[in-house]
A and B are shown apart, each in its own frame.
Chain A
Amino acid sequence: MSSVLQLKNVHKAFAGVPALSGIDATLADNAYISLLGPSGSGKTTLLRVIAGFEQPDGGEILFAGKRVDSVPPHERGIGFVFQNFALFPHLSVAQNIAFGLENRVVDPVTDPKVVAARVRDIISLVGLSGLEDRATTQISGGQKQRVALARTLVTEPSMVLLDEPLGALDANLRMRMRSELRTIRERCGVTFLHVTGSETEALAMGDTVLVLDRGRIAQSTDAGSLYSRPASADVARFLNCYNIFSGTVEGEGFHSPVGMLALGGSRQASGTPAYAIRYDRVSIRPQDAAAAGDEVRIEGSFVASEYSGAAINSFFTLDDGRVFEVETHLSHVAPTAYEERGRYALVWKREDALVFV
């Protein structure tokens, strides 16, 4: 698969505070790439640097094989969809979409018939038919989102940057737009780089997921591998599905604040030693139940549980005061009622744990 965008050691600081500290990445052509990062990780800055709204302090940006770091945004041919949509409020839906075609400096479309035809095509592609003459203030959030997308796609960019495109939508619509965005992208055959702070969104949307942490790409892989094999404790923390212990590896055990955890399975080098176990790999047993030979067992007091339909998440306090989360999928077991402040054994298989050294 060929690459559409390459970033080499891209740096950017604001008033001496680094926002991007050496980004290296290669983005595949015709792919859906999500960029996951907590707030303050520099993900919006990275997007703005790629679009040309911000100048990088150093490094190289290659788009379609050419260096673009000093090219102004209007000559880059990279589309941008804003979180607030940034529709032109004085233009109608159709005029918003036609704007780029009619006014761009490279190859503007001057024939009103051609413009109208292309606008009509893209409007039906994104599902906005019948709203052509509405003002942008007269459409809903999801429709605004589609206008913003259509306005960009109609100019046929090779790449579209989406800055938290679903952030301004309500939860229901967000779920629907997820699959729509993917379908639209597949039909257009362009690369989408979708920035989000939501791990579920990043995993659901991306063919590839880039994880940005403190101005660096912490991991770049497909959603499945990211979920099951995060590259570091920090990445595991963003995924929001791991209980993480800090500590040190001593022989065949991990010395954590809640005691020695027996090691099995693989270890990965990541700089900071940590021990991570996925929420859904843990089983809850009565306190007196013994662990099998290949299992790790700790104890905690039950605090509360949260029912989310297909799964139930139970929260325990461990002896050092930290909260430990267990996710039980209800398709396998009926929900069990636990006694508040009761002690339970929390058990998992040694090989299910991720050990970072």
Chain B
Amino acid sequence: MNASGIKVSLGLYTALFIIFLYGPLAVLAILSFQTGPEGGPQFPIIEWSTYWYKHLFGLTPPSRIAPLPIEQALVRSLGLAVMTMIVSTVLGVTAAQAFRKKFRGSGVVFYLIVLGMMVPGVLVGLGMALVANALGIDRHWWGTAFVLHVVYTFPFAFLVMLAIFNRFDPSVEEASWSLGVTPARTFRKITFPLIFPGVLSAMLFAFTLSYDEFSRTLFASGRDLTLPLAIYGTFSVEVHPNVFAFGVLTTLFSFALLGTYAVLMALSVRRAKRMAIQEEA
């Protein structure tokens, strides 16, 4: 195949990729502007309106369509995601730190940790429900589900940090020790600032994976639903475009999160850049 042929096929591939990536989202976003309350979740758009966004926040006159029962679920999911993010990142960083030195049984421990993201979520969720029943533990989103979220997201944080430490030059730590600084303070003052971009990535992973986790949470969260479960629950009755409106809002929220991540990343490299400018001046 000649060069232009390769170019065309790569272009086609990229276009398909983007269509499949953003197509569902675009459909969702368009349909969220359907008129209400009589408009349904399908084309054509009868009339453009922001009715369903208002409906979401209870700003519309009462109608036969009940408001989405997601307010508390959203709070729960955010809380769960933050808790999971903190615990998984701490575990991931410390575990990866431990793996910097070979220790006896490190191979087994590695696979034990990674297993958490390999095993099928529905089975683990079901298993957790059975264990909780057998031991007489109440199932809660902040209890049994939280544990499963950590088990699931910890390996991701761990692998991210493992990759970061792989490229980390341990001689800066040794240099710090030789200046009379304790290992603990060295970690805080030298190691942590240097691995911080990795820690941010690990946090992002843990947060987003937990935030929309479904299969593990399904059986393990008990009575109070998390956001993905609550949304799924509304599907079983009747789907209205308010779900789409909500989907658009959560997507925007995720982008905001990514934006924060990007800003924090940029801040951690800005110093060096600023000095580079001084240098040229």
Given the known interface contacts A135-B272, A135-B275, the answer about A88 and B181 at a Cβ–Cβ threshold of 8 Å is no
B178 pairs with A78, CB closer than 8 A: yes
Contact A104 B181 (CB under 8 A): yes
In the complex the two chains form, what is the Cα distance from A133 to B274 in whole Å?
11
Chain B interface residue count, CB cutoff 8 Å, equals 25
B100 at the interface (CB under 8 A from A): no
Chain B residues contacting A90 (CB-CB under 8 Å) are: 193-194, 271
Task: Say which residue of B178, B181, B189, B275 sits within 8 Å of A105 (CB atoms).
Answer: B181
Bound CA–CA A133/B190 (angstroms): 18
Give the bracket for the number of chain A residues in contact with chain B: 35 or more
Which of chain B's residues have a CB closer than 8 A to the CB of A141? none
In this assembly, does B14 line the interface, its C-beta being within 8 Å of a C-beta of chain A?
A: no
Give the Cβ gap from A110 to chain B, nearest Cβ, in Å: 14
Instruction: For A135, give the chain B residue with the smallest CB separation.
Output: B275
Q: Binding site of B, secondary structure by majority: helix, strand, loop or mixed?
A: helix
- In the complex, what's the smallest C-beta–C-beta distance from A101 to chain B, in angstroms? 8
Kindly provide the distance from the CB of B1 to the nearest chain A CB, expressed in whole angstroms. 43
With A92-B275, A134-B275, A137-B272 as given contacts, are A103 and B179 in contact (CB-CB < 8 Å)?
Answer: yes
Given A103-B181, A104-B179; A86-B171 close (CB under 8 Å): yes
B179 adjacent to A152 (CB under 8 Å): yes
Minimum C-beta distance from B268 to chain A (A): 8
The complex places the Cα of A84 from the Cα of B189 at a distance, in Å, of 20
Question: Are B175 and A133 in contact, CB atoms less than 8 angstroms apart?
Answer: no
Within 8 A of A (CB), among B139-182: 169, 171-172, 174-182
Q: Which of A69-77, A174-182, A331-339, A340-348 contacts B (4 or more CB under 8 A)?
A: A69-77
A104 touches B180 (CB 8 A): yes
- Asked whether, in the complex, the Cβ of A74 is within 8 Å of the Cβ of B182, the reply is yes
Q: Smallest distance from the beta carbon of B182 to chain A beta carbons, Å? A: 5
Residues in A84-132 with C-beta less than 8 Å from chain B: 84, 86-90, 92, 99-100, 103-106
Contact A84 B271 (CB under 8 A): no
- Verify B174–A86 contact, CB threshold 8 A: yes
Contact A88 B178 (CB under 8 A): no
Residues on A with C-beta less than 8 A from B179 are 74, 79, 99-100, 103-104, 151-152, 155
For the complex, give the distance between the alpha carbons of A75 and B183 in Å. 11
Residues of A contacting B272 in the complex (Cβ-Cβ under 8 angstroms): 89, 135, 137-138
CA distance A52 to B180 in the complex (A): 12
Can you list 29 pairs linking A and B with CB atoms under 8 Å apart? A73-B177, A74-B179, A74-B183, A77-B180, A79-B178, A79-B179, A80-B174, A82-B171, A82-B174, A82-B175, A84-B169, A84-B171, A88-B175, A88-B190, A89-B194, A90-B271, A100-B176, A103-B180, A103-B181, A104-B181, A105-B182, A105-B185, A133-B278, A134-B279, A135-B275, A137-B276, A138-B276, A148-B175, A155-B179
**What 7 new A-B contacts, CB under 8 Å, besides A72-B177, A73-B178?**
A86-B174, A86-B175, A89-B272, A100-B176, A133-B278, A135-B275, A137-B276
Residues of B whose CB lies within 8 Å of any CB of A are 169, 171-172, 174-183, 185-186, 189-190, 193-194, 271-272, 275-276, 278-279
Q: Which residues of A contact B (CB under 8 A)?
A: 51-53, 72-80, 82, 84, 86-90, 92, 99-100, 103-106, 133-135, 137-138, 148, 151-152, 155
